[in-house]
Structure 1
């Protein structure tokens, strides 16, 4: 990756990096706040487990649609304006989710809220890529770590709000008001006159001639498929790592409920840890080496977990494997979204279009992974959770270094 070896890297001004950082924080806070209130929301509309699952499926479809329409929104309002519109829509519709009086309206509110969430996901990543291009310095690791930390903090505050008996409408109303103010302030803030603004924008490349266009098309036919494979495969690591590892410990290794509950937390902690060190790692070793290390770490970790589960080994060993898998998985999506930098600079593809592709495929993976994991674990045992993650990790190892080189 060119950013890693560039000698022209500049310090990113606060006014530049704070805009995408605020958007990542807003998105993580809204998602984390809603997660803590899902049980109460389901009880409010009298939804059974299958009915609430159908409502969440509508949310997933909304997120997928939002990630697909985001490039059009970006063309109309640019990255900063599109991020503000999508973030504001997500915040306002999050309040309608917790206020929905029946299951049908809940599903509709979740679909619309996640439509804006999907658009926000794409636009904030595209905005971060723009800042990264101008600065010539890796940024995506810090942005995705901001999202993960914001989600965790919002989850802890949400759990406290539930414990204190704060009404759900009050909780989400306050959260929505705060994040709206943060998103608006970060988008509209400009440095004072006389304060050095950010570095000058990168020059627009000349329009290539016809042979260059043909060469670019040939290269894209090789780059885009591996980018797509890596994005889809990564979801088959992250989704089971967060949603199925607790069940794996409790049913596959007979772990105590408290120990099983630690599994998704450790996986998420691994994500945060590796994302915090991703940017300096890219500057030192380059994106391709980091991508290869990420894939190798995931493959070895989930294969170790698979062996432990088959042998009915100690739950502690499985927890170590789960944490290591999270560390390996952490860099994948920041690297994939950051690949929009290279595709934009070398092939003229808008960053929002690449981000839309990555976001849409990751959501397809998140939707389909439970459908794959559930029947396999029922037929062959809980070790299949690690088996599915291993297949996804192997595909990431094969595709990710090629996608980001």
Structure 2
């Protein structure tokens, strides 16, 4: 049995659901530690300082900058050569993503409109966790048509792009002009490297690190530096080696690190919420209800409603070979907010108690969306057989 173990491990890490499963395991581990005898060690470790920043800060502003770099690379590739490379391909996932952002936000505001501090969390239920959603979809294998997987991927990428814009516009602290100017100068230098067809990765990496530091000090969230760097990387290689483009090399190289290290570490560090002293009444808190209802109800209503209307009015075609129940199941899966929702929640709220309430709302809405979305797709696949 031992001789086959390495092959099984390799097979697992090469499987589509692997990243989502590992993220789920690390998140559960974080929750367990936060409610165990080791809770003090867990929280004190995350709050301890290294080189001027807490470990949690390094994770959320440092490692997640690499995550956003990867997202930016993915977005640029899809816009230039992938599933978002033409207006016809962009229309349905773009409209669905916008509806999937607005409806959850409105539902959250309906619960929290009368509290100026809680209103800041309107974007928490607006995000979709691409790793989790695609991981659940992958568990169904060939029972789900390829067109739906493409639709979900494109929708989630646009969703991430909207989340990046939201973070830049609504969750930016006071601006430090000098550092912002330095960051802008570094960005111009990166653009010049691209314009001069510089294909070596090292200059981009060095300038990217400087830009990250300048953006961090400027007051804008440091993760946006990752997106800016991604957009400057050349997509085309040389005539002799067309596949040697820095963007493609970086995306391929970062993929396993992001999926199996960076995102799980983020989940482990940010999912930890202590349930000590939690009462049932707190589950009815407007923040919890707004986020949970936004993810579970808002996503499915916004996305499925938009797809149904645009197809009925003849504006777009329904994903090929996909039934309406299957489209509804995918819309439900988009309610898995987890990584991005936790990330925005940490930016939206400064009070640790409210941050914990936001996490509970994210867990509740995401779990409901994952379980029911999976069951709907499973049952609809059996009906189509």
Decide which structure has greater helix share: 1
